[in-house]
Amino acid sequence: MANIVFCFPPIVSTINSSLRLARELKLRGHQITYIGIADCKPLISANGFKFVSIYEQWFPKGCFEDVYLKLQSSAATDLSEARSHALWFNEFLDYLIAGGDEELNLVIKELKPDLVLVSTSLSDSVIWALFFYKLNLKVVYFFDVLGGCNNTVPPIHTDLVSDGSVWSSIKTILAWYIYKIKKSRYEKYLVRNGLDLISSRKLKKIAKYCGYSHKDIDFLTDMPGAQLKLPELVLFPKRFDFPGVRKEGRYYAEASIDLNREQSSFPWEKVAESQPIVYVALGTLSFMAKSDYEDFFRIVIETSMKWPEWNWVISIGNNLSVDDFEYAPSNVIIVNRAPQLELLKKASLMITHGGPNSVKECIFFGVPMIVFPLWFDQPGNVARVTYHRLGLKGDFKTITSKVLQELIEEITANPEFRERIKAMQKYFMEIEDDKPGIRLIENFIAQQNIPPFLD
């Protein structure tokens, strides 16, 4: 059996997306180890996997939330703080190419991995992929989002729908052209102001140190960071993507939903068993101002009064207080964290931000969605949701109780949404049972050279 290493950032949704695959591989006798910074450990250990922390002197416990999330938030306006963090991270990169990669080398020497899965969720994924390449390891990119398909479908941060028509293709090409110009200009701005975490110049220097040609790096992908030419395992069934999507080296698998992952406690006694459940959640990461979230949830509470016979479960996240919503009606249950899988088994509708896990789980349980995309891949996710008629799109910035009522009335009155999502649910369940991700990974391990493309 093989030794398989998962290199992941401390993002709850990203780690959750890998758990079922990791469990299935472990059941087949493979040794599974996660490596990453210290903030990854609580979630990974809670789910029963071995975890090895690296570079704790650079990334001590708590640094992800205290530094990275704060800087990524729309509320972060302190350029001096951002500049300080960029300087610190570039010092870390200089440390690595001055011999600091020896710590990683020693960890890898002990683990002896036959395959390394590198998450693409953060911009530093390219760094880890390069250093694994330097160690002559077999590396596969792990995608829990649908980005990275340059030019064949719209950039993942846009809500453009790609239906295969000529006009759609023209809009896709134009969107990529505009995006690449903007991204290039933005990088120059970051470098000029000392705000860049990983500039193209620095990345070329690291690639040279690792023996990788910088000509084989995609600097203008729509993912958070640049990408190497590596095989890509995508934990999304291909049918959910737009028609015509194609990329050499990309392997679509199942949704890989872990039904056994650790779930939050919940006051089920407050739920009226015979009544529909509307589940509301905007993800585990907070990138908007706190007041924006508060306003949104208050609009949901106001809207709930039109349907007092329904159960409304609102998961507000860890950055808000339940006490701030003390005047909610008795049929509204507000919690910081909710057991999403258990709720979706019973829910009739989800109001969501459109994160990849939430979208996949809604489909798996046959729950129509009203999606309010907030950032990164969520506009692209909702574009696919609306293309397949699995739900409706809302606007987080302009939403009112009246508009939300209209969206709810439309999605509950039109049987097409329920029919479409039931059909997609059937497909998701079939491919979930088939487990192509396991076969792909075992093929990656067994083959001397991984084939460039598998449809």
Residue closest to 161 by CA, chosen among 248, 246, 224, 243: 243
Mean pLDDT (whole number) for 281-302: 89
Least confident of 36-40, 95-99, 254-258, 446-450: 446-450
**DSSP secondary structure, 279-311, as one string:** EEE--S---S-HHHHHHHHHHHHHHHTT-TTSE
Res 378 pLDDT > 90: yes
Note the pLDDT of residue 65: 75
The sign one gets for the Cα dihedral 281, 287, 289, 292 is negative
Note the pLDDT of residue 448: 62
Listed by start position, the domains of the chain span: 3-254+435-446, 268-431
Residue closest to 214 by CA, chosen among 199, 236, 224, 233: 199
Give helix 79-95 / helix 200-210 axis angle, nearest 10°. 20
Res 364 pLDDT > 80: yes
pLDDT digits (tens, 9 = 90+) for 387-416: 999 999 999 999 999 999 999 999 999 999
Res 228 pLDDT > 90: yes
pLDDT digits (tens, 9 = 90+) for 267-285: 999 999 889 999 999 987 7
| Percent of the chain whose predicted confidence (pLDDT) is above 90 | 82
Note the pLDDT of residue 455: 38
Mean pLDDT (whole number) for 298-326: 93
Per-residue confidence band for 77, with pLDDT thresholds at 50, 70 and 90:
low
Give helix 378-387 / helix 356-365 axis angle, nearest 10°. 30
Residue closest to 235 by CA, chosen among 417, 424, 431: 431
* Better-scored residue on pLDDT, 444 or 288: 444
| Percent of the chain whose predicted confidence (pLDDT) is above 70 | 95
Mean pLDDT (whole number) for 115-135: 96
Mean pLDDT (whole number) for 417-432: 97
Res 292 pLDDT > 70: yes
Mean pLDDT (whole number) for 185-194: 91
CB atoms within 10 A of CB 153: 30
Note the pLDDT of residue 255: 95
Res 117 pLDDT > 90: yes
Res 452 pLDDT > 50: no
pLDDT digits (tens, 9 = 90+) for 14-26: 999 999 999 999 9
Q: Does domain 268-431 have CATH number 3.40.50.2000?
A: yes
Domain 3-254+435-446, what architecture?
3-Layer(aba) Sandwich (3.40)
Q: How far is CA 207 from CA 15, 159, 215, 232, in A?
A: 27, 33, 10, 20
Note the pLDDT of residue 107: 97
Least confident of 67-81, 163-177, 202-216: 67-81
Q: How far is CA 264 from CA 47, 176, 179, 360, in A?
A: 13, 40, 39, 19
DSSP code of residue 5: E
Q: Are strands 3-7 and 31-36 parallel, antiparallel or unpaired?
A: parallel
**3-state SS assignment for residue 256:** coil
Residue 4's Cβ-side half-sphere holds a number of Cα atoms within 13 Å equal to 28
As given in the structure block, the two tokens for residue 17 are 């997306």
Mean pLDDT (whole number) for 114-130: 96
Mean pLDDT (whole number) for 146-174: 92
pTM assigned to the model: 0.92
- For residue 36, give the H/E element and its range: strand 31-36
State which amino acid sits at residue 108.
I
- Fold agreement (3-254+435-446, 268-431): yes
Mean pLDDT score of the chain:
92
E-assigned strand segments in 154-254: 217-218, 227-228, 232-234, 250-252
Phi–psi pair at 92, nearest 5 degrees: -65, -45
Phi–psi pair at 196, nearest 5 degrees: -80, 130
Mean pLDDT (whole number) for 182-206: 92
- For residue 412, give the H/E element and its range: helix 401-413
